[in-house]
Chains A and B, each alone.
Chain A
Amino acid sequence: MSAGAPPPPTPSTSSATTSPQIGADEWVRRAGERLVDRTPQLVLLLVFVVLVALIPVITSNEYIVRVATDTMLYVLLATGLNVAVGWAGLLDLGYIAFYGFAAYLFAELSSGHYGIHWATWITVPLVVVGTIMLGFVLALPSRRVSGDYLAIVTLFFGQIFVTLTTQGYRWDWFGFGGVHDITGGPTGLTQVDPFRVFGHQLTQARDYLWVALAGFAVIAIGLSAANHSRTGRAWRALRDDPLAAEVMGIPVNRLMMFAVAAGAGVAGFAGAVNGAYYQGVFPTSFAFPTLITVYAMVILGGAGSLPGVVLGAIVVNVLLEVLRTPEHARWVFYVAVLAGLIAKVRPWRMLGAVLGGLVAFGLVVNAIVGAVWPRGTAGPLYAGGADFTTHGWFATAVRHWLVLPKNTYELPNYTIGNYAFVILIALVLTLTVVRGWKRYVLLVPTLWLAAFVWENRLVEEAPTTRPLFLGVILIVLMATRPQGLLGTPRVEVV
């Protein structure tokens, strides 16, 4: 399924015995096998759809259903971006603007802003088609300028879109006309109509979960079919070597435009759902941070692999959601560090040594700091602004192991945390350079410092910590595992 998938297994003995057919090459002869190859994907899709569709049935927790719906929107976005980035290898940086364009178009056509309230069955197809057209127009420059310039042109478009949405409430025709309020400005457009399907107003989160899910199922099947068709193969050829693809007679420009437009279409559907689901559109939802979020999803899951990007979207969005609540975030942090250690440190003796060293290091530092500077260990363990100190054995253990300075006016602990953050970055970078036993020795203070920065600085500042993690995901994955979780490693032919 994923791009550049390994060749199907060698023909079985039965096919070896049949005499070779004239005029039918390996590829044609195996058409039947490839159909079979595809079924597991369909099964996967079916399982996914059933599981997600059951979420609102299983739980009546509105929060979980809302998170699931948000995640579904991101799944749609990641699926669309995967077409351009994963399959065709184009860096489409205007992707979020397509999403925003669709959401705004839907809102303009079904809200009180212009007093237009068109029916859902008209607006949604209109929005999707409009976004696809926009995708084509934006991909036009790729006919003239190739590669990185497409990234720049799409990035410009993203910036233009942000300017338009935040400043569009005082659109003045550059002095040649009256002032118009087109986009509602920084506060966006509110009171957007929800979807109306067969006379029913869709007002609940679970309705939109199902709508998004149904849309995803159709889109996934369609895109999967496209990816297995001649177009899909041409996209991969184009991604792996545009020049060779062109020489082979593949219409490179047209395929680039197709890829960008197909992605835009998916974003268009997601945008329409977004507008109706939140019953409002806001410029901040469609800016650079959202773009980075979707990129992190696609890269983490594995660009080019449809199940991969779905997984990536789920993992990243759930992770970001968990980071909002310090109590949950704290558990995730320690469990992730531990899991990372267990996965990466070999042999077991070394793992034990590192863990033991980590505990000992923390206790010693805590004792020294406590003796020299008592206030340094007197601080509370925070959780969402509330004192977490008395909450169980875990908090007690952390307080005796870490250094938690008491916050004072002269020395706020974020100052210490800032220095620690910079030192932590330096230590992590050093870790990537040193080899052998030095690395293990260095690992201990690094991990301890990471916990220090985490407790003193990051855990409380979710709005900054969340995007910070996205940046880290992109950098670390590119350096260690560019194919992501489920992608196929690619070999650049020079």
Chain B
Amino acid sequence: MTGVLAFTLYDWHYFFAQLVAGLTLGSLYALLALGYTMVYGILKLLNFAHGDVYMVGAYIGYFVLTALGGALSPVIPVVPLILLMFMAAMTGCAVLGVVIERFAYRPLRRAPRIAPLISALGVSFFIQQSAVLLWGAIPRSYNTFSLHNGVLFTYVTIGNLRLQYAQILVILSAIALMASLTLFVWRTTTGKAMRATSFDPEAASMMGIDIDRVISVTFLIGSALAGAAGVMTGLIYQNVQPYMGFGAGLKAFTAAVVGGIGNIGGAMLGGMLIGVAESLTIGYLSSTFQDLIVFTVLIVFMLFRPTGLRGTPVLQKV
């Protein structure tokens, strides 16, 4: 193993492959982290159920793919097929997210802080187990290797660097989604209302902002992004199963914390960093204990910089 380490460290092709894999993974984490960070920014709620919304998104994508003939013999061309999967998953997850907020969190708006957290744990567990009940615990495979003779996994060569179409697809669509989110938050009235609510909910409501509506919109957007991330996971890593949301959600939340919770740009940065770090850990250190290393690094990171990379120190007001 040490020999492998010394050999591969200077192999730039290997390094680049790990980096691209990390950026792909990071895109998924970033998309998920956005949902966490937006909800946390506005409600100060750690939404444990977010990872499970992502899992449901992955399943929706799978069912759309299966309904349209499966990866082996799709009845429509590849591009509209993938678009349709994204749209269905994003819509489905958006609805799910809004429903969760409406029924599990909204009644607890005035409860002690720990109440919505426990409710979120319950929702997460409930969705997970419902998925086991409805779809079984056995993983289902997108099987996108067979899609149109494996077009997603053919390599593109740029200079002497190699990238897969699927990786380009994931990274580019994640960037597009994040760019439109940024535009939405900074250029629209609703975005302005979201920023105001995140800054000070009470003052915002006094200014005539409908807080409940803003929170619903936040959940809608965050969950739609999670749905997109779910489909991307299926497209690249094939397997979807009911428990996939837990670990991914945990890392994505960490990404949000690393970037500075509540900070949208920070979540993107944090997601990419965690993805690359995890990928490099798998590539160079250990493919068995990557979680252990990643989580240990994060605990240490949180000890020394609790506000994250781009977060501002929180001033507690009385």
Residues of A within 8 A of B (CB): 85, 89, 91, 140-141, 144-145, 147-149, 151-153, 155-157, 159-160, 163-164, 167, 170-172, 174-176, 243-244, 288-289, 292, 295, 299, 418, 421-422, 425, 429, 432, 457-458, 461, 464-465, 467-468, 470-475, 478-479, 482, 490, 492
Contacts and interface: CB of A to CB of B under 8 A. Distances in A.
Given A159-B295, A464-B132, A479-B108, A474 B286 contact: no
B250 A159 contact: yes
Interface centre among B114, B288, B289, B291 (most CB of A within 10 A): B114
23 contacts: A85-B114, A141-B299, A141-B302, A149-B306, A156-B254, A160-B291, A160-B295, A163-B292, A167-B288, A174-B289, A289-B125, A458-B133, A467-B129, A468-B133, A471-B128, A471-B129, A475-B126, A478-B115, A478-B116, A479-B104, A482-B111, A492-B110, A492-B112
B21 to A, nearest CB: 19
Given A152-B46, A152-B254, A163-B289, A475 B306 contact: no
Given A160-B295, A175-B286, A467-B125, A148 B133 contact: no
B69 interface: no
Interface string B107-140: 1101111111111011111111110111000000
B277 to A, nearest CB: 14
A472 B122 contact: yes
A160 B298 CA distance: 12
Q: Which applies to chain B's interface (DSSP): helix, strand, loop or mixed?
A: helix
Contacts of B303: 140-141, 144-145
Contact of A464 (B99, B108, B129): B129
B4 interface: yes
A145 B111 contact: no
Interface in B235-279: 246-247, 250, 253-254, 257
B316 interface: yes
B5 interface: yes
A299 B120 CA distance: 13
Interface of B: 1-2, 4-5, 44, 46, 99, 103-104, 107-108, 110-119, 121-130, 132-134, 246-247, 250, 253-254, 257, 285-286, 288-289, 291-293, 295-296, 298-299, 302-304, 306, 316, 318
B133 A457 contact: yes
Contacts of B295: 156-157, 159-160
A430 B247 CA distance: 32
A421 B1 contact: no
B4 A175 contact: yes
B82 to A, nearest CB: 26
B295 to A, nearest CB: 4
Contacts of A457: 133
Nearest to A166: B288
A479 B103 CA distance: 9
Contacts of B111: 478, 482, 492
Contacts of B291: 159-160, 163
A156 B299 contact: yes
B126 A472 contact: yes
Given A175-B286, A475-B123, 20 more contacts: A89-B114, A140-B303, A141-B303, A144-B304, A149-B257, A149-B302, A151-B46, A151-B117, A152-B253, A152-B254, A160-B295, A174-B1, A243-B318, A288-B246, A425-B130, A458-B133, A464-B132, A468-B133, A471-B123, A475-B104
A295 B121 contact: yes
B121 A474 contact: yes
Contacts of B119: 474-475, 478-479
Listed residue (B4, B117, B298) with the most chain A CB atoms within 10 angstroms of its CB: B117
Contacts of B133: 418, 421, 457-458, 461, 464-465, 468
A425 B296 CA distance: 39
Contact of A170 (B103, B107, B132, B288): B288
A473 B130 CA distance: 14
B289 A429 contact: no
Contacts of B128: 467, 471
A471 B1 contact: no
Which of B2, B46, B110, B121 counts the most A-chain CB atoms under 10 A from its CB? B121
Which of A148, A153, A461 has the largest count of B CB atoms less than 10 A from its CB?
Answer: A148
B60 to A, nearest CB: 13
A164 B292 contact: yes
Q: Which of B124, B253, B289, B316 has the most CB of A within 10 A?
A: B289
Contact of B288 (A172, A425, A464): A172
A258 to B, nearest CB: 18
Contacts of A145: 302-303, 306
